Amino acid sequence: MEDIHSVIIVGAGQAGGRAAKAVRAAGYSGRVVLIGEEEHLPYERPALSKAVLLDPAAQAPSVLTGADCAALDLDMRAGRAVAAIDRAAREVVLADGERLGWDRLLLATGSRVRPLAIDGVPPQSIMTLRTLDDARLLRERLAAGSDIAVVGGGFIGLEVAASAAKLGCRVTVVEAADRLLPRLGCPEASAMVLAHHRRAGIDIRLATTVKHGDGQALELSDGSSVPATVIVAGIGVSPDTALAEAAGLECDDGIIVDEYGRTSDPAIFAAGDVTRHRHPLLCRHIRLESWQNANVQAEAAGRSMVGVPTVSAEIPWLWSDQGDLNLQVAGAPERVDTVVMRGDPDGEGGITLFQFQDGQLVGGVTVNRGKDMPMIRRMLALPTLQLDPQALADPDTPLRRLLPARETA
Ligand SMILES: Cc1cc2nc3c(=O)[nH]c(=O)nc-3n(C[C@H](O)[C@H](O)[C@H](O)COP(=O)(O)OP(=O)(O)OC[C@H]3O[C@@H](n4cnc5c(N)ncnc54)[C@H](O)[C@@H]3O)c2cc1C
């Protein structure tokens, strides 16, 4: 293997920060430059829609502190954007024209929020939430009694709505689908989420889109109108593949990487939201937008790029906290033909959903029943495991008993 003297990481978010730690932990002692567009050192985003909105004193957990950067001898360039990758010269070109050379490059450019256009509303009046600066700006607008309209009832939209309601705002969520979070694959779970938010006083409009706005209200597709002095768009994100595409790397709804995080150029790696990676247990490429993936994939790619080949192979898992509601999702089902429910959707103990495809467990969801999630993740890691639907549905049967004896020893 060629000598590696210089590693550059583009994108100083969660995956970029984790990868920088991983290259050092793998024993690499050469130059590491971490370049990030944001003015902040790498931090974790999940708190942005939760604690950071609710509490002005709350901080987003940091991935790398200034002390870490010094201790790990990282050349941290915050507030600097990379404008291009010159693969022939093995250099990145910064927006100010500076060129930096690399032997190994890692792209961790994350996602960008999908922009929403509303007739009658200037684009700059539609708020989005991706960065710490976005969260601080939004928090200033969430005064008790103000009228907030959240467009999009996905995870982030519902988290923002729940936080705004807790702060005493009047909140409306406008969702185009006919139920919340249809990807949960179970109408009962969607109904539980809907009932929870309605109980918290959030006005949720399903199967509805926004037609027009005037700064005070939004006119909806069903002819009604809702008060909206603050509009937040939560209609999803797209992988930020601009640099990779311009450099001619293989991309298809994400930078295509293998289980080591290697792109179509063996000297260039990628990790986090921006990738579509080959998952060794699922045996196909998937794109994940999650805290877990930003950690484990960055760890694998960081180690692999400095000569310690490491596979990223954890069962996909994410969580969403929406007020008092905790949702956890494991697996990455392509198709679900059968759902087995454990727990009573009208009871206190929450529910767990086991998702099957052709008799095989392919996913699991817990709604206020996180205690079942560790077992679901273990079950999903055993692709040939045969499970009895009746036992799964019976809350008195411990899930541990359904694993093979060698797994519980
Ligand atoms: C509000 C919010 C709440 C979330 N809550 C949860 C949750 O509860 N559970 C969960 O599992 N996941 C959650 N997530 C998702 C999780 O935070 C992301 O999956 C994770 O941050 C992805 O990390 P990343 O490093 O790939 O991308 P990012 O964290 O987006 O980092 C990418 C960085 O690259 C920088 N960059 C991009 N282009 C360039 C360039 N050309 N030059 C220099 N820098 C560049 C960007 O500015 C950014 O700082 C949440 C995300 C958000 C936004």
Say which amino acid occupies 346: D
If one counts every other C-beta atom within 10 angstroms of the C-beta of residue 101, the result is 15
> For the segment 145-180, what is each residue's pLDDT rounded down to a tens digit?
999 999 999 999 999 999 999 999 999 999 999 999
* Cα(289) to centroid(ligand 1), Å: 8
Assigned token pair, 232: 């937040």
Does residue 51 carry a pLDDT above 80? Answer: yes
CB 166 within 8 A of CB 51: no
Q: Does the structure's ipTM exceed the value 0.85?
A: yes
Say which amino acid occupies 8: I
* Cα(241) to centroid(ligand 1), Å: 13
- Domains in the chain and their CATH numbers? 6-112+237-305 (3.50.50.60), 115-233 (3.50.50.60), 333-408 (3.30.390.30)
pLDDT band at 407 (very low <50, low <70, confident <90, very high): confident
**253 CB-contact burial (10 Å; exposed 0-12 / middle 13-18 / buried 19+):** exposed
Does residue 2 carry a pLDDT above 80? Answer: no
> For the segment 71-115, what is each residue's pLDDT rounded down to a tens digit?
999 999 999 999 999 999 999 999 999 999 999 999 999 999 999
pLDDT band at 406 (very low <50, low <70, confident <90, very high): confident
Residue 13 Cβ contacting ligand 1 at under 6 Å: yes
Does residue 210 carry a pLDDT above 80? Answer: yes
Percent of the chain whose predicted confidence (pLDDT) is above 70 = 99
> For the segment 9-38, what is each residue's pLDDT rounded down to a tens digit?
999 999 999 999 999 999 999 999 999 999
Residue 319 Cβ contacting ligand 1 at under 6 Å: yes
If one counts every other C-beta atom within 10 angstroms of the C-beta of residue 398, the result is 12
In this structure, which residue's CA is closest to atom 26 in ligand 1? 272
The string of DSSP codes covering 200-242 is TT-EEE-S--EEEE-SSEEEETTS-EEE-SEEEE---EEE--H
Using the structure block, give the residue that is written with the tokens 């817990």.
366
In this structure, which residue's CA is closest to atom 41 in ligand 1? 82
pLDDT band at 409 (very low <50, low <70, confident <90, very high): low
Residue 31 Cβ contacting ligand 1 at under 6 Å: no
Q: What is d(CA 286, CA 279) in angstroms, rounded to the nearest whole number?
A: 7
* Cα(300) to centroid(ligand 1), Å: 18
* Cα(214) to centroid(ligand 1), Å: 32
Quick one: average pLDDT of 299-324?
96
What is the torsion angle, in degrees rounded to the nearest 10, for the CA atoms of residue 131, residue 134, residue 140 and residue 146?
-120
HSE-up of 84 (CA within 13 Å, CB side)? Answer: 10
Residue 15 Cβ contacting ligand 1 at under 6 Å: yes
Does residue 328 carry a pLDDT above 90? Answer: yes
Does residue 1 carry a pLDDT above 70? Answer: no
* Cα(131) to centroid(ligand 1), Å: 8
* Cα(111) to centroid(ligand 1), Å: 6
First to last CA, the chain: 41
> What's the mean pLDDT when you consider all of the chain?
95
Residue 263 Cβ contacting ligand 1 at under 6 Å: no
Q: Which of 9, 35, 37, 366 to mutate to test the pocket of ligand 1 (most atoms within 8 A of CB)?
A: 37
Does residue 119 carry a pLDDT above 90? Answer: yes
**102 CB-contact burial (10 Å; exposed 0-12 / middle 13-18 / buried 19+):** buried
- Looking at residue 408, what is its pLDDT? 66
Beta strands in 70-167 (DSSP E): 75-78, 82-86, 91-94, 99-101, 104-107, 111-113, 126-127, 147-151
Residue 48 Cβ contacting ligand 1 at under 6 Å: yes
Q: What is d(CA 57, CA 320) in angstroms, rounded to the nearest whole number?
A: 22
- Looking at residue 202, what is its pLDDT? 98
Residue 294 Cβ contacting ligand 1 at under 6 Å: yes
Assigned token pair, 104: 């190994």
In this structure, which residue's CA is closest to atom 5 in ligand 1? 46
